[in-house]
């Protein structure tokens, strides 16, 4: 039933605005959306084989709206809308709104569904929790003996990727897009860091934009660019089971997903099509897979058996069904099992839309829309960091790393989404010099950007065997976690003694110039005034034109024309790209990534000054080394330690950036001198708990490219009072005038029992006076408040769901509740960082804090003090 695409190009044009590589459903959708914006005549698709070549046997066509995050949900919803639109115009897409049923075998899975049900309010996905009896009514062939319940999503359905692709192509061609089949890209050229053209087997094309929609081959296509674009993907075997005709199978049989059995089933043409995402996948070692025929491998029944057993258990009548075909089609997965979207860090105007991990049809419409938004408008409608290609580093593209990791990646798709997920493979990659010591001292690790970061410290017996084995953090509950007491102990060490944490993974960038070009650049990039005295540290956002945060960082002014930037770990690729985009073309400002040159040790707590004083001759008194300043210190016998008098969590303390070769020495001195103060190793979870309780926002968790400083109470950190232009200034000025429509708040749950109730882990809906008003971002248990603490954004939605202006009065006059998996807990709202009671008040630093009131925080909405 395959058809040929008509009106394909005979000859290649010598020039185009956009070249799309790949004539699959993704490329077709990008072309379609471009053509809708009037770019059709300037767009060319290059397809190596024929359009829609991918085998019909090797796709499931499942379309589901529920995804783990807002960006993914928005994308899926946009895809569904596109299917419906085409269908209503009489274009074939195979769209069939048969609904989907998700079933649970375990209580934790049921909790996930309850959380989804409560989240569905924020995301606008109608759904319904159902009992096992109802599950069987929806899917009569189902065995529900071990089923606890399910989630019924009537708006889901299935589509036909082939038909969808062809219809999109036909529409695109109608709107002027050129499609060239049987032509391969052989090189992608860049000039001044921007895409300048491509070479193909049929000649060159000059172009301004390139979109890598090569799907399975996206990694190889990335390698054709100069400089090489890293698209970390690796193929795994992936199976589709087709039965022969089954009598009386309703064509509207819903899609069934049984994630605890890793499987899904659907009806197709009177047969069952089934597949799944096995917990341990089989990566492919064949190096050369050139075409779609080679993408189909002989089936390995032994490997598929895991899924077959679950299918037969779930639908026992399948035992008597006759096999039609088992297809083993290769599918490429990214290291975190998420889509790869966005502008490549290596070349401007090179966009990637790949790694759709078998659900291309759910993703294509939305991903294409976002990609086209980015090309045409310069930014997407919602924050996409989670899917952005800049979430990776070079290490993620290492083939051996991918081979290791990809065994685990597909299983994530149906795995239980417990909080703080950790991968088991591809570990022990980036290690700080004190890593072996911390491991032996009981560190249990979490991985961020390939870096092993202690999450908490187990107590170890003195005689324990050394070296201690490497241990990976896990939470595996939605209630009180097993590490609660451990983190509590670490928390109190930071508040009442001394805590020592490894901050080495933080992104560290040196920015300098000969003259004052660096100051000019940073004044333009940063919303805060960075022209501070040498030795000061300034906390600032880097906004985009809309006022949103592209980066949130601390800048230490090392010398007149030299700053050291400390940014979140996950910004390592991203913030460099953002800055590079704005660097003076004459090369007068240099950026150097010194992340790997320094080990960062943070000491937190009331006695940190006493401790550090014992190890250095420098006078650390507030008059000589005030809060929020920087000094290069000698510590122990080492020198050149960049000490910053701050902690990023609101505690008193210092972050020491130590040249790597001195790291162990300084660490040993701190530990031995710190013993009398009760120095304790602390992990990331304790630090996180401190900062959530102190109401500190973090980029990537609370702040994103859509959030402005005015919305998160940081107005006083914007240089409105100075006549210095910076990116986003106009947007922020306008917002200051108009007022904000969302506000970052802290909510303390007043009737939540942390021992028994399910915890909030982020993403829970917030209700104000019984009406939905927003979602939580990050949450933690507050060990001082002895309450669950949620941070999140509150909106003022009118009866049509349109956000209205939010004022302090509006925030403070409401009665709040947080919905955790279907139960609403009363919450007390805070607009400002609370004053936590402490046994050890620090008079000097309090005085120093007071002096900063020159900003008059009451003048603006958000005035909680945040270093």
Binding residues (CB under 8 A) for other proteins: these are: 241, 243-244, 298-302, 305, 308-309, 311-312, 318-323
Q: Shortest gap between Cβ of 307 and other proteins (angstroms)?
A: 11
Peptide bond into 549 cis (omega under 30): no
Rounded least distance, CB 477 to other proteins, Å: 32
- Smallest distance from other proteins to CB 303, Å: 9
Task: Indicate the residue among 268 and 474 with the shorter CB distance to other proteins.
Answer: 268
Q: How far is CA 21 from CA 186, 188, 240, 288, in A?
A: 11, 10, 27, 19
- Measured distance CA(503)–CA(438) in Å, rounded: 12
Give the C-alpha separation, 733 to 550, whole Å.
18
For residue 247, the minimal CB distance to other proteins (Å) is 14
Residue 350 tokens, joined: 């090179």
Instruction: For other proteins, give the closer residue by CB, 294 or 592.
Output: 294
Residue 154's nearest CA partner among 12, 71, 252, 238 is 252
Q: Cβ of residue 403: shortest distance to other proteins, in angstroms?
A: 15
Strand pairing of 507-513 and 443-448?
unpaired
Q: Which residue, 318 or 352, is less far from other proteins as judged by CB?
A: 318
Q: Would you state the structure tokens that stand for residue 595, as one six-digit string?
A: 């992340």
Which lies closer to other proteins via its Cβ, residue 265 or residue 806? 265
Q: Which is closer to other proteins, CB of 319 or CB of 623?
A: 319
**Distance (Å) of CA 336 to CA 138, 235, 449, 502, 699:** 33, 14, 11, 24, 19
Dig out the tokens for 162 from the structure. 């082939």
Smallest gap from Cβ 358 to other proteins, in A, equals 22
Name the minimum Å distance from CB 313 to other proteins.
10
- Cβ neighbours of 60 (radius 10 Å): 21
Q: Which C-beta is closer to other proteins: that of 248 or that of 319?
A: 319
Which strands, in side-by-side order, build the sheet including 271-276?
A: 128-130, 149-153, 100-104, 255-258, 263-268, 271-276, 234-243
- Smaller CB separation from other proteins, 60 or 760: 60
Tokens of 750: 């007043």
Which of residues 278 and 711 has its CB atom nearest to other proteins in the complex?
278
Cβ 413 to other proteins shortest distance, Å = 23
Residue number with CB closer to other proteins (247 or 837): 247
CA distance 65 to 157: 9
The DSSP call for residue 741 is S
CA angle 856, 862, 866 (to 5 degrees): 80
The DSSP element (H or E) to which 638 belongs, if any, is: strand 638-644
- Pick 297 or 416: Cβ nearer other proteins: 297
d(CA 663, CA 136): 61
CB of 640 to other proteins, least distance (A): 37
DSSP, collapsed to helix, strand or coil, labels residue 25 as helix
Kindly report the number of other CB atoms within 10 A of residue 124's CB atom: 12
Q: Which is nearer to other proteins, 310 or 502 (CB)?
A: 310
3-state secondary structure 530-594: CCCCCCEEEEEEEECCCCCEEEEEEEEEEECCEEEEEECHHHCCHHHHHHHHHCCCCCCEEEEEC
At closest approach, how far in Å is the CB of 314 from other proteins?
12
Give me the least distance between CB of 829 and other proteins, in Å please.
Answer: 56
- Output 30 or 311, the one with its CB closest to other proteins: 311
**208 burial level (CB within 10 Å; 0-12, 13-18, 19+):** middle
CB of 309 to other proteins, least distance (A): 6
């Amino acid at each position: 039933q395959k058809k040929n695409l008509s009106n394909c190009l005979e000859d290649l044009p010598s020039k185009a605005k956009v070249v799309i590589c790949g004539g699959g459903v993704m490329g077709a959708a990008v072309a379609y959306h471009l053509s809708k914006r009037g770019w059709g005549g300037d767009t060319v698709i290059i397809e190596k084989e024929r359009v829609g070549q991918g085998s019909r046997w090797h796709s499931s066509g499942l379309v589901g709206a529920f995804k783990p995050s807002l960006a993914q949900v928005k994308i899926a919803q946009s895809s569904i809308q596109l299917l419906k639109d085409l269908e209503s115009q009489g274009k074939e897409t195979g769209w069939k709104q048969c609904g989907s049923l998700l079933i649970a075998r375990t209580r934790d899975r049921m909790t996930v569904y309850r959380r989804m049900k409560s989240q569905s309010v924020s995301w606008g996905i109608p759904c319904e929790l159902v009992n096992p009896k109802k599950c069987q009514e929806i899917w009569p062939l189902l065995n529900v003996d071990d089923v606890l319940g399910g989630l019924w999503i009537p708006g889901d359905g299935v589509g036909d990727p082939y038909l969808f692709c062809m219809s999109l192509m036909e529409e695109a061609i109608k709107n002027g897009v050129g499609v060239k089949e049987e032509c391969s890209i052989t090189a992608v050229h860049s000039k001044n860091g921007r895409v300048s053209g491509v070479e193909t087997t049929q000649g060159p094309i000059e172009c301004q934009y390139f979109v890598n929609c090569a799907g399975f081959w996206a990694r190889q296509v990335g390698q054709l660019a100069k400089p090489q674009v890293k698209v970390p993907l690796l193929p795994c075997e992936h199976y589709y089971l087709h039965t022969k005709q089954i009598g009386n199978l309703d064509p509207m049989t819903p899609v069934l997903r049984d994630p605890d059995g890793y499987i899904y089933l659907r009806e197709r043409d009177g047969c069952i099509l089934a597949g799944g995402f096995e917990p341990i996948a089989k990566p492919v070692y064949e190096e050369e897979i050139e075409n779609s025929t080679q993408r189909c491998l002989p089936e390995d029944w032994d490997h598929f058996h895991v899924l077959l057993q679950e299918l037969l258990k779930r639908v026992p009548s399948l035992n008597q069904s006759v096999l039609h075909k088992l297809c083993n089609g290769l599918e490429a997965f990214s290291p975190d099992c998420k889509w790869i979207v966005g502008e490549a860090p290596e070349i401007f105007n090179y966009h990637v839309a790949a790694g759709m991990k078998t659900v291309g049809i759910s993703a294509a419409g939305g991903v294409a829309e976002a990609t086209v938004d980015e090309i045409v408008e310069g930014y997407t409608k919602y924050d996409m960091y989670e899917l952005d290609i800049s979430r990776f580093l070079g290490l993620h593209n290492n083939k051996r790393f991918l081979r290791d990791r990809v065994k685990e990646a597909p299983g994530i798709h149906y795995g239980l989404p417990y909080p703080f997920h950790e991968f088991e493979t591809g570990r022990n990659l980036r290690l700080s010099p004190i890593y072996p010591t911390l491991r032996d001292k009981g560190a249990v690790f979490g991985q961020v950007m390939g870096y092993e970061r202690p999450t908490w410290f187990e107590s170890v017996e003195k005689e324990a065997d050394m070296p201690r084995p490497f241990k990976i953090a896990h939470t595996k509950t939605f209630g009180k976690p097993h590490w609660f007491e451990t983190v509590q102990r670490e928390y109190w060490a930071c508040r009442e003694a001394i805590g020592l944490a490894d901050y080495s993974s933080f992104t560290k960038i040196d920015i300098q110039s000969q003259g004052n070009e660096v100051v000019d650049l940073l004044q333009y990039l940063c919303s805060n005034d960075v022209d501070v005295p040498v030795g000061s540290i300034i906390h600032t956002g880097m906004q985009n034109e809309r006022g949103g945060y592209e980066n949130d960082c601390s800048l230490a002014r090392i010398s007149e024309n030299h700053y050291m930037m400390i940014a979140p770990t996950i910004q390592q690729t991203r913030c460099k790209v953002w800055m590079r985009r704005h660097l003076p073309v004459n090369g007068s400002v240099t950026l150097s990534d010194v992340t790997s040159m320094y080990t960062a040790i943070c000491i937190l707590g009331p006695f940190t000054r006493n401790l550090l004083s014992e190890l250095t001759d420098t006078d650390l008194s507030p008059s000589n080394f005030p809060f929020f300043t920087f000094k290069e210190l000698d510590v122990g016998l080492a020198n050149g330690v960049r000490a910053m008098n701050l902690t990023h969590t609101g505690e008193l303390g210092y972050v020491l950036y130590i040249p790597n070769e001195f790291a162990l020495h300084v660490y040993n001195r701190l530990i031995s001198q710190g013993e009398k103060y009760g120095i304790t190793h602390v992990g990331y979870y304790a630090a996180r708990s401190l900062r959530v309780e102190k109401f500190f926002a973090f980029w990537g968790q609370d702040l994103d490219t859509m959030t402005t400083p005015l919305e998160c109470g940081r107005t006083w950190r914007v240089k409105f009072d100075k006549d210095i232009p910076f990116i986003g200034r106009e947007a922020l000025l306008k917002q200051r005038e108009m007022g904000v429509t969302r506000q970052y708040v802290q909510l303390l749950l007043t009737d939540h029992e942390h021992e028994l109730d399910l915890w909030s882990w982020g993403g829970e809906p917030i209700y104000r006076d019984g009406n939905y008003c927003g979602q939580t971002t990050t949450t933690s248990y507050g060990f001082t408040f002895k309450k669950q603490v949620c941070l999140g954004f509150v909106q003022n939605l009118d009866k049509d769901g349109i956000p209205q202006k939010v004022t302090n009065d509006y925030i403070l006059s409401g009665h709040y509740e947080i919905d955790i998996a279907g139960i609403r807990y009363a919450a007390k709202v805070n607009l400002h960082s609370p004053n936590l009671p402490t046994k050890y008040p620090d008079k000097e630093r309090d005085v120093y804090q007071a002096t900063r009131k020159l900003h008059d925080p009451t003048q603006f909405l958000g005035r909680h003090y945040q270093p």
